[in-house]
Structure 1
Amino acid sequence: MSRWRVVVVLGLILSAAGAFGLHQAGRGLRSERTSAGGVPVEVVRAADAAPRRPAVVVAHGYAGSGRLMRPFADTLARRGFVVALPDLAGHARNGRPLSGSGEIDAEMAAVVRYVRSRADVDPAKVVLLGHSMGAAAVVRAGAADQSIAATVAISLGDDAAPVRPGPRHLLLVVGGLEPAGIRDATSKALAAHPDGRRMVRVPLVEHAGVLFADRTHREAAHWLEDALGHRPERHVLAAKDRVVPAGLLLAGLVLMVAGVMVRPRGAPPPTVPALPRGTDLWWLAGAVLAAPVAGLAGGALASRTLPSTVSGYLVGYAAGAGAVLAAVACRRITVAPPRPAALVTCAGFTVAGTAAVAIPIHAGLTSVVPYGWHAWLVALLAAAVALLLGGAHAAAGPPYSVVVLALVSAPLPVAAAAGPAPAFLALVAPLVAALAGLHLLLGGLAWRSGTPWWATVPAGALMLAWPVAASLPID
């Protein structure tokens, strides 16, 4: 058996294991989708649960979704809670723009009212849990409604103002590797309301990883149960029951794409091309310096024009930087008519590569089905990223284009940390880098097998743009 067949078989095994794990993650639970005052909500409860159960409203963070918080439903529903997972304004299925904290507070109040009205919920036993932006929202909601029995705030943002009187029975959870501002905000919230409050620092996890830590789920479940006097029906922690199978599915699908699409086809591997020389080299060096400047200017303009500050900035940065690289590439390349076989390969890469990334992320992590304006943002960001990838590959050629992309993209997280770019980009940067790295890996394997570099650009653009633009909020 050739090594490429081994890769495909391994991919099939991992994909099957991941799909089975995702199916098992929902075993014994009943889920329904509904709307509370126009807010899309998924309600999860144990299939065999008796009526009049305690309930918890779980609020996601900025660029999150109810689906991202589903592991808490898997844990708490099996322990006897009815769990409501709203998609807050600007996120996932909620088409309302995110206009500010007032919009979020109104939506949280609507969801709490809806949960209390359900026949299977004890209205005197409603509690709250939130992450990041959602943590600030549940703190405000718990403070405004003192009948809320307990609140769990995970990764409370550094922009969260103390509220008085604070929510009853507040548990503060923070990851040990989170930014200093979030750790400081959590400490300040504890100091402002010391009575009936507790802070837990979960070691070795960052802003997203804290959601999938067993310690987070254990502390949250025990805190809510103690506040309500609720005895758990099952001592379950399902923190990783979805994210681990999703990782297996992602790895398996990527291996299958690699094994099927980039196996050698009898042609000798391409030789490494020479770097541009003379005047062309100076033009390339100038483009590497000018592209980030054009990207920053394009990002500032697009973020004020498009209905999403963060997605818009990424569109403008990729388009501005890509245009500079493409302009330089036009000096040294000639365009030959593509062969039909290469077009078929390009289409196959685009469909298979996008599905290999988007399906596991949506099934096991967060919602990436684009609704309303999100669909346009996916298309715009994909076009901009395609210009950036194509410009870099055409200007320098593989494998040197990897270095060009790294140099051109490096100022983006720096600008986010320093202030010119939206600060949230600093948190998105690892995801963007991981998706770009996946494209470069598949693109490099394809190039080594004799596939032209341009055939993988549409796939790389969609692999990056789809999960990023679909999850970042409209505002």
Structure 2
Amino acid sequence: MLRARLTLVLGIVLLAAGVAGFATAGRGLRTTSVHVGTVPVELVRPDGAAAGGAARPVVVVVHGYAGSGRLMRPFADTLARRGYLVALPDLAGHGANPQRLTEAALDRDLAAVVRYVRGLPDADPARLALVGHSMGAAAVVRAGAADRSIAATVAISIGDDAAAATRPGPRHLLAMYGAFEPSGIASTTEATGAERVVRVPLVEHIGVLFADRTHHETARWLDRALGHHPQRPVIAAKGRLVPGGLSLVGGLLILIGALLSGRTGAAPAPPDRDRPGLRVGAVLVAPIPGELAGVALAHALPNTVTGYLTGYFAGCGAALVAAALLLRRPDHPARPDHPARPDRPDRTARLARPSAAALARAGLLAAAAFAAVVLPVHAGLTDVAPHGPDWWVVALLALAVAALLAGAHALLGTPWSYAAVVALCLPMPVASLIGVAPGFLALISPLVLVLVGLHVAVCAAAGRPWWRTVLAGALTVAWPVAVVLPVLG
């Protein structure tokens, strides 16, 4: 009980610190939301008029594949505090933009936003720059090469060889990439012909956006290229990431503390341990039907990555469920010469239909876990509110994740089921790197593993029965993944 109380208190403290961090992250800035055609755009300015009434230099900051304008907000926090007017669009298929994603739609959306911000009363159209990440880096390179009036361009982690080979390239091009990114992104970045190429240490494809070095290089490059002299040389790379992380950890600790305080003192019933070799073998074989199903569904859903993940999780889950059913020994009444063992769980009780109250508690756990994970991600990282015509993909991926979790728990029991779920996620980036799965999966696999790890933490605190946590895990893993992946044209 003491451990549960300490966990609750620590969670409350961290959550309060996160909320306070969010409250101060936008201090000194003025934010407005507009639509440029179908493109949602967030405009961020420093409070008050520009010094001497002069127009401000303008920067359009473009997110990458599966990102959103919200993901790039730290660049606005840095640049707007240095005196820039910053535009954060949600390009086609991303964030709150319901259009389907094509390269033509991206370029059209970006061009529309550039025209719009050039016409703003407090914007200096002669001092306009572009910053882009990943897919957005390719888009800003194409835009900067096509429109020579764009004064400077910053391309972060560009992975498009065709865009990198554009000659002549944009004016005053700075290119950056993370030291832990795939070698293909590093080589493509080096091939841009940029005036300066920076390798940002100790970060990968997403972490590069929140590195102080990335923000410092971007701000210094734009200041020099646009002839801007900021009064406050601010770097705010982690101004929203840290509160988001504190809120996430705090929410999870509150949930775990509540679960621990509600558990009885009785030890959980031990799982079946008969034929352990066959159970482990089933886990090792499960990726085979998973890969086959993933490849089959990769092009059947609105996004190839979503389709692959749905098929892979469903295939692995189906294999584990089948193995659990095959390895479950039939129930026999105990003979007089073989009395029931008190250290073994009662199969009849274990297979009994759950009560309405138990199902309601499982639903409440799912809602609490969802709030603890998804809301901080939405507030501190990227937009995970569903938009567009294919929101049903969230439900489909959630069912696939539920099949994986249910199969692992039914086959192995805790705590071995936790290790099995994590282990079954490991073949995905390998399949991506060898070309079996979509290439982008290699970049988001660490995030999928983080979400699985968060579910494991909740599951460990919730205890038995195993089905109690399946819905919670299905929502917290599937929702952020399915929503951020764009609808393809």
Q: Secondary structure at the match of 1:262?
A: helix
The yes-or-no answer on 1:474 pairing with 2:487 is yes
Counterparts in 2 of 1:285 and 1:258: CA distance versus 1, 3 Å: closer
Tell me the alpha carbon deviations over residues 420-455 of structure 1, each in whole angstroms, 9 at most, x when there is no partner. Answer: 1001111111111111111112211221xxx31110
CA separation of 1:406 and 1:7: change in aligned 2, threshold 3 A? closer
From 102, 105, 108, the equivalent of 1:106 is 108
Whether 1:343 and 2:326 are equivalent positions in the alignment is no
1:299-319 deviation per Cα after TM superposition (whole angstroms, max 9, x unaligned): 122221111111111111111
316-325 or 152-161: bigger deviation: 152-161
User: Paired residue for 1:206?
Assistant: 204
Superposition deviation, residue 5 in structure 1: 1.3
TM-score by length of 2: 0.91
Larger CA deviation: 436-445 vs 45-54? 45-54
Q: In the TM superposition, what is the alpha-carbon distance from 1:411 to its structure 2 partner? A: 2.1
Query: Which of 452, 455, 459 is the matching residue for 1:443?
Result: 459
Aligned 8 A contact 2:135 2:160 in 1: no
Q: CA deviation at 1:140?
A: 0.8
Identity of aligned residues (%): 57
Give the letter aligned to residue 170 of structure 2.
P
CA shift for structure 1 position 380: 1.1
- Work out whether residues 309 and 474 of structure 1, in 8 Å CA contact, stay in contact via their aligned partners in 2: no
User: After the TM superposition, which of the residue ranges 312-321 and 353-362 deviates more from structure 2?
Assistant: 312-321
Residue equivalent to 2:142: 140
Cα RMSD between the aligned structures? 1.8
How far does residue 203 in structure 1 lie from its aligned partner after superposition? 1.3
Q: Please tell me whether residue 385 in structure 1 is matched to residue 397 in structure 2.
A: no
How do 1:252-401 and structure 2 match up within 5 A? Answer: 252-263=250-261, 265-277=263-275, 282=278, 284-285=279-280, 287-331=282-326, 332=328, 335-373=351-389, 375-401=391-417
Alignment partner of 1:430 is 2:432? no
Residue number among 215, 224, 227 corresponding to 2:225 in the alignment: 227
How many Å apart are 1:407 and its aligned residue? Answer: 4.1
**Is the counterpart of residue 53 in structure 1 residue 56 in structure 2?**
yes
Report the counterpart of residue 123 of structure 1 in structure 2: 125
Residues in 2 aligned to 1:12 and 1:406: alpha-carbon distance in whole angstroms = 28
What secondary structure does 2:261 align onto?
coil
Does 103-112 or 138-147 show the bigger shift? Answer: 103-112
The CA deviation string for residues 188-219 of structure 1, in whole angstroms up to 9 with x for no partner, is 113xx5xxx11122211111111111111111
Contact 1:158–1:181, Cα closer than 8 Å, also in 2: no
Match of 2:238 among 240, 247, 251: 240
Rate the CA distance shift 1:409–1:205 in 2: closer, same or farther, 3 A.
Answer: closer
Paired amino acid for 1:143:
A
3-state SS of the aligned residue for 1:305? Answer: coil
Shift of 1:93: 0.9
Q: What is the Cα deviation at residue 285 of structure 1?
A: 4.9
- The 2-side partners of 1:199 and 1:410 are apart by 32
Structure 2 unaligned segments of length 5 or more: list them.
329-346
* Alpha-carbon distance, 1:172 to partner: 1.0
| Cα distance in 1, alignment partners of residues 304 and 449 from structure 2 | 19
Q: CA deviation at 1:291?
A: 2.3
Aligned AA for 2:283?
Answer: V
SS at match of 1:69: helix
Matching residue of 1:166:
169
User: In the TM superposition, what is the alpha-carbon distance from 1:290 to its structure 2 partner?
Assistant: 4.0
CA change 1:153–1:391 in 2 (3 A) is: same
Deviation of 1:297 after TM superposition, in Å, equals: 1.9
Residue 63 of structure 1 is matched in structure 2 by 66
**Any conservation in 1 of the 2:154–2:174 contact (CA below 8 Å)?**
yes
Q: Give the aligned partner of residue 155 of structure 1.
A: 157
Task: Tell me by how many angstroms 1:158 deviates.
Answer: 5.0
| Alpha carbons 2:244, 2:380 under 8 Å: kept | yes
Given that 2:365 and 2:472 are in contact with CA atoms closer than 8 Å, whether structure 1 keeps it comes out as yes
Residues 312-358 of structure 1, C-alpha deviation per residue, up to 9 Å, x if partnerless? Answer: 11111111211121222234277311134422321221011011011
Inter-partner Cα distance in structure 1 for 2:160 and 2:99: 25
Matched residue, 2:33: 33
| One-letter amino acid matched to 1:262 | L
CA shift, 1:267, in A, is 3.4
SS at match of 2:88: strand
Determine if contact 1:276/1:396 at 8 Å carries over to the other structure: no
Partners of 1:36 and 1:265 in 2: CA distance: 53
Note the C-alpha offset of 1:474.
1.4
User: Given that residues 302 and 390 in structure 2 are in contact (C-alpha distance below 8 angstroms), is that contact kept between their aligned partners in structure 1?
Assistant: no
Contact 2:240 2:380 in 1 (8 A): yes
Distance in 2 (CA, whole Å) between partners of 1:266 and 1:298 is 41
CA distance in 1, matches of 2:77, 2:433: 35
Give the whole-Å Cα distance in 1 for the aligned partners of 2:486 and 2:353.
Answer: 40
Q: Over residues 382-440 of structure 1, what are the superposed CA-to-partner deviations in whole Å (9 max), with x where a residue is unaligned?
A: 11100110011111211222233244333222111111100111111111111111111
Q: Deviations over 1:227-271 (max 9, x none)?
A: 111111322111000001111111100000001123353331214
Contact 1:49–1:80 (CA under 8 A) maintained in structure 2: no
* Aligned-partner Cα distance in 2 for 1:356–1:9: 15
Distance in 1 between the 2:445 and 2:467 partners?
25
Are residues 407 and 28 of structure 1, via their aligned partners in 2, closer, same or farther at CA, if it must alter by over 3 Å?
Answer: closer
Q: Which runs of 5+ in 1 are unaligned?
A: none
> What one-letter code is carried by the residue in structure 2 that aligns with 1:458?
L
CA distance in 2, matches of 1:408, 1:223: 43
Task: Check conservation: 1:171, 1:199, Cα contact below 8 A.
Answer: yes
Alignment partner of 2:384: what SS? coil
- What whole-Å deviation, never above 9, does each CA across 1:48-75 have from its counterpart, x for those lacking one? 1336211111011111110000000011
Instruction: Give the whole-Å Cα distance in 1 for the aligned partners of 2:424 and 2:208.
Output: 31
Count of aligned pairs: 463
